[in-house]
Structure 1
Amino acid sequence: MKKGKFYFSLKDFLEDNENNTENIFILVAEYTNINLENLKHYNGEIFGGIVPFVIYNNEYYNKGLIVCSLEENSDFLLVEDLNYLDVNSTFFENRKSFLVLLDGLSQNITKFLENLFEVVCENAKVIGGGAGKMTFENDPVIFTKDKIYKNAAIIIATSMNLHSKISNGWEYLDGPFLTTNSEKNILKTLNYKNAFDVYKSIVEKNSGMIFSDDNFFDIAKSYPLGIVKLNNQTIVRDPIYIDKNNNIVLVGDIFQNSTINILKGDDKNLIKSSVNAVKELLEESNSCANEDVIIFNCISRSIFLGNNFPNELDEIKSHMKKDATLFGALTFGEICNDSDKYISFYNKSCVVGVLC
C-alpha cells in the first residue's frame, strides 16, 4: 500500500485521478460531502470507510479524504457481515501483512477478529481501526463504489512486511473488579453490583464532577476501563453512554469474569506513550526504504487531549524524516496483534505501522 494522499473534497480526488486505474483504499472524514454515485466515475476499484477525522501529517480534519493506492500484489476483501468470514478463502494464503477497517460500533467485532486470527498465516501482522460517526449511531460506514454497509469490514492483504506498535499511556485509578455480568459490549455488573453505580462512585470522587443525564461522555472520556490480560497487558475499553437499563455501553466487547481496573489519564503520559511507540517503530524498521507511517488513533483519546492533541501529532512527526508522511484516521477502536498472539481490539490507544 502506497502512502496516503490528502484531498479536501471528492471532486478534487476525482479530478486528480481521472485516468488512474489503480485499486484504492479511502478514509473519509465524517463531515465530507460524499455521494457514492460519484465514486463510479473512478476507473479502478474503491474500498473505504467513514471515520470521525482523517490525519495527514501534523493536521486532522473532519472534512476530507485520505487516499491510498495499492500495489499490484495487494488485494481487497469485503466482509459484508462481521459474523461471517470465509475461513476457507484463498485470499489469506501466503500473505503476512493485513490492514483492517471495520464497523467500530458493531457488536460482532470480537467474533470477527477471532475468525480472522484462525485464518491468517502464522506470524501474520495485522493493524487497523474502527470506522464510525460521532453520533454513536450504528450507521452504514464501510463502502465500495456500489454500496455502503454496516456491520462490515474491509481487509487489505499485501506481501510487504508490516512493522507495528501500539501504546495508550493510561494509568491505574482503582480496582481490580470482576465483571460479573456482561453481554458483548454492554457492562452490567461489577462485583455483583450495578456497574455504573460502582464506576460513578469512584469517578465522581476522583474528578469532583457529578454525572447527569447529558454529560456521561464528557466525564467518562477521562476514565476508561482496563481489561487485565494474563501477560499483564491492559486492553482499554471506552465507555460511551448509559443505556435505558443503567448499563455501561462500551466500544468493543468485555467478557464476563474479566478482571478490570478503572483508569485515568494525564496529557503528558498519553503523548509520551505515542511518541515512544513511533520511535520504537522507526528503530525496528530502520532498514526499510519506506518511512511513511500509518496511524489509527482513538477519537476519544484525542477528545481527552483536547487542545494538546495537535501537540501529539507535532511530537510524532518530529521523530520522522522530514519528507516522510504521517497519514491515517481517528477511529472507534484500534486493531493490532503481536506475531502469533491474538488479534485484539483496543480503545483509547494509538496504533502506528510501517509497510516495507
Structure 2
Amino acid sequence: MKKVQYFENMIHLLNSKLEFSNKYLILVAENTIFDLEQLNSLNIEFVGAIVPEIIFDNKHLKEGLVIYTLNLNSQMNLIEDMNNIDYLKKENFHKHSSFIIIVDGLSSYITKFLESTFQVLPLNSKIVGGGAGKSTLKQEPIIFSNSGIYQDSALVISMNLKLNIAVENGWQYLEGPFLVSSCDKNCLKSLNFSKAFKAYKEVIEKDCKIKITKDNFLDVCKSYPLGIIKFDEEIIVRDPIFLDEDENIILIGDIEQNSTINILKGNKEYLLNASKNIVNKACKNIQKDDIQAIAIFDCISRSTYLGKDFVEELNHIKKQSNDKLIFGALSLGEIANNGNEYINLYNKTCVVGVLC
C-alpha cells in the first residue's frame, strides 16, 4: 500500500482501488473539478482541504489530488466552526503527540483557534500544517469530510507517528524595528503612531523606485513582507495582501498590538539557500531509513515570488529526502510547533514535517 498517491483528476481517483478500511487525508488543488458526493461514493473515511496548489514529489500542481494514507489509529477531527472553543474542549487529543493541522487560511478566527488548540493538546506536541483556500483570496467553503464542506473550519489530525519539524524562510532585513501602535487582528493600522501604509510605503518606494498604489500593491509588496520579532529572535513573516478602504494594510495572519516588526526584502538566492538543508535539519536525531513520508507546507506567495525558480526549492527537498514520498500544499499561511513553544502561523515560509 502506498502511503502517498497522486491523481490527475476526480475520474482517476474514482477509478482507483482505495481500501475501505483506511483513513485518508486528501488535498485538492484549486483548479480541480471536485465533487464531494462522488468522493463519498467510494465509501472511504476521509478529511481534506482545497488548496492553491498541491505538492507531490518535487512537483507543484494547480490541478489534481494528493492523498496521504493515515495509520488506522489516527484520529481525524473536523472542527466546523473555528470560533467554537467549546468543541475543542470536548475532544480527546491526548492519545498522540504528533499532529497535522489545516485551517481555513482566510478565516478571521485563526489566531484564536490556534491559541485554543494549544491549550488542549498534550505538552510537547509536534505540529505541521497550513492554511487552505484559493489564490483568488476570496473566502469560500474549502475544508471537508464525509459530512460536508465548510468555511471558517479546520482539521486536526492526530497520529501515533514520530514527527520532526523544520522551518525556514530566507527573507532579509530591510528596515526597522517599528512598533505596531494600532492594529485589529490581521489589520495593521499604524506603525510608530503614524499611518502604517505611509511608513511602509516610504521604505518600499525608496528601495524599489516604484510608486505603490492600491492597484499594484500585491504585485510590488509580495517582495516586501513584514517580520514579527519574537523574544528568541525568531522572525515570523506576515504577508501584506491588500489595502482596505481606509488604506490599512491587511495581512494573512494576525499581528499583536505593541509587537515589534521589521520590513523585510526578498532575494531569490537567500530564499533558495534557506531550503537547501531543511530536510536534513528536520532529520536531526533520526535515521532517514525510518522516514515514512515528508509533508511540506510552502507559501503560495513564496512560490509566486520565486516564479520558475521555485522548482529548485522542491528539488532541494527531494534531493535530501532519500527517495521518500513527499506530499503537501502551497498554502495560505504555514503552521508549525516543534514541541516547546506556542503554535506559530507563518507566511512566505517553508515548513517541513518528517513523519517516521
SS in 2 for 1:172: strand
Superposition deviation, residue 90 in structure 1: 4.5
Check the 8 A contact 2:172/2:265 in 1, yes or no.
yes
Superposition deviation, residue 263 in structure 1: 0.2
Q: Which residue of 2 aligns with 1:277?
A: 278
Equivalent residue runs for 1:162-311 within 5 Å: 162-286=163-287, 289-290=290-291, 292-311=293-312
SS in 1 for 2:203: helix
Superposition deviation, residue 288 in structure 1: 5.2
Superposition deviation, residue 248 in structure 1: 0.5
SS in 1 for 2:290: coil
Superposition deviation, residue 306 in structure 1: 0.7
Higher mean displacement: 18-27 or 60-69 = 18-27
**Deviation digits for residues 156-197 of structure 1, max 9, x if unmatched?**
101111111111111100000011110000001111111111
AA of the residue aligned to 1:48: G
Q: Distance in 1 between matches of 2:228 and 2:69?
A: 36
**Deviation digits for residues 68-95 of structure 1, max 9, x if unmatched?**
1111110101111111233433430231
**Deviation digits for residues 174-231 of structure 1, max 9, x if unmatched?**
0000111100000011111111111111111111222133211111110000000111
Higher mean displacement: 274-283 or 121-130 = 274-283
Check the 8 A contact 2:279/2:354 in 1, yes or no.
no
**Deviation digits for residues 224-243 of structure 1, max 9, x if unmatched?**
00000111111100000111
Q: Which residue of 2 aligns with 1:56?
A: 56
Check the 8 A contact 1:274/1:350 in 2, yes or no.
yes
Q: Which residue of 2 aligns with 1:71?
A: 71
**Deviation digits for residues 124-160 of structure 1, max 9, x if unmatched?**
1111000011111111110123311111001110111
Higher mean displacement: 18-27 or 184-193 = 18-27
Check the 8 A contact 1:285/1:354 in 2, yes or no.
no
**Deviation digits for residues 91-145 of structure 1, max 9, x if unmatched?**
3023100000110111111111111111111111111000011111111110123
AA of the residue aligned to 2:113: F
**Deviation digits for residues 269-299 of structure 1, max 9, x if unmatched?**
1111112221211343226522531100000
Q: Distance in 2 between matches of 1:168 and 1:69?
A: 29
Superposition deviation, residue 315 in structure 1: 1.7
Q: Which residue of 2 aligns with 1:95?
A: 96
Q: Which residue of 2 aligns with 1:160?
A: 161
SS in 1 for 2:92: helix
Q: Distance in 2 between matches of 1:70 and 1:125?
A: 16
Check the 8 A contact 2:277/2:320 in 1, yes or no.
no
Check the 8 A contact 2:278/2:317 in 1, yes or no.
no
Identity level (%): 44
SS in 2 for 1:269: helix
Q: Distance in 1 between matches of 2:16 and 2:239?
A: 39
AA of the residue aligned to 2:32: T
Q: Distance in 1 between matches of 2:38 and 2:216?
A: 39
Q: Distance in 2 between matches of 1:34 and 1:291?
A: 28
SS in 1 for 2:276: helix
Q: Distance in 2 between matches of 1:333 and 1:51?
A: 11
Q: Distance in 2 between matches of 1:291 and 1:173?
A: 40
Q: Distance in 1 between matches of 2:194 and 2:89?
A: 43
Q: Indicate how the Cα distance of structure 1 residues 243 and 280 shifts in structure 2: closer, same or farther if over 3 A, else same.
A: same
Higher mean displacement: 193-202 or 206-215 = 206-215
Q: Which residue of 2 aligns with 1:146?
A: 147
Q: Distance in 2 between matches of 1:300 and 1:189?
A: 24
SS in 2 for 1:237: strand
Check the 8 A contact 1:21/1:42 in 2, yes or no.
no
Q: Distance in 2 between matches of 1:52 and 1:337?
A: 23
Check the 8 A contact 2:272/2:313 in 1, yes or no.
yes
SS in 2 for 1:92: coil
Check the 8 A contact 1:92/1:119 in 2, yes or no.
yes
Q: Which residue of 2 aligns with 1:16?
A: 16
SS in 1 for 2:271: helix
Q: Distance in 1 between matches of 2:110 and 2:271?
A: 25
Check the 8 A contact 1:2/1:70 in 2, yes or no.
no
SS in 2 for 1:115: helix
Check the 8 A contact 1:332/1:347 in 2, yes or no.
yes
Check the 8 A contact 2:143/2:154 in 1, yes or no.
yes
Gaps of 5+ in 2: none
Superposition deviation, residue 42 in structure 1: 1.6
Superposition deviation, residue 19 in structure 1: 5.1
SS in 1 for 2:256: coil
Q: Distance in 2 between matches of 1:120 and 1:18?
A: 31
CA-atom RMSD in angstroms: 1.5
Gaps of 5+ in 1: none
SS in 1 for 2:212: coil
TM-score normalized with structure 2 length: 0.96
AA of the residue aligned to 2:208: S
Superposition deviation, residue 340 in structure 1: 2.6
